[in-house]
Amino acid sequence: MNAGPTGKLWIARWILLGGMFFAGCGIDIGNQEGSTMKNPHLMLYEGGQFSYPGKYGRLFIAAGNYQLEEYVTEKGEKNQGWTLILWMGIENRPETSKAQRVYIGQTFFFEKYKIHVVRMDTDGRGLFTEIEILNA
């Protein structure tokens, strides 16, 4: 089975994530401590998806596949800690679909969005990742 951007697995993943989003089991967005409307903090719950209407096109983002492992930072330092995969895409632009493994404290660009991984934690609803869109 083809798992590329036009393959059945890719399509199934986005249908599943889209269904979860419309079912309401995705995220919280809030003006939490340190957050402003300019730099929103988003809570991505495991198995959910968020749709963010940013200035560079509607960003779809989901989190999952959490692992405790060794990783290398942007500075080339080896660390041991939690990583996860963020699945991202821009509405009506399927060529932007991307999965990227990230770690706490990492800042990266996806298309024109600058995204910072703030923390991973649990609450009464489950495991979540807090991200910040730095150039919303």
Q: What pLDDT digit, counting tens, does each position of 76-129 carry?
A: 999 999 999 999 999 999 999 999 999 999 999 999 999 999 999 999 999 999
Q: What pLDDT digit, counting tens, does each position of 7-53 carry?
A: 555 554 555 444 444 333 444 444 444 444 578 899 999 988 999 99
CA-nearest of 18, 113, 17, 127 to 67 is 127
HSE (side-chain half, CA atoms, 13 Å) at 120: 19
| Cβ–Cβ < 8 Å for 62, 50 | yes
State the burial class of residue 74 (Cβ atoms within 10 Å of its Cβ: 0-12, 13-18, 19+).
exposed
Give me the residue spans of the domains in the chain: 8-133
Q: Phi and psi dihedrals of 39, rounded to 5? A: -125, 80
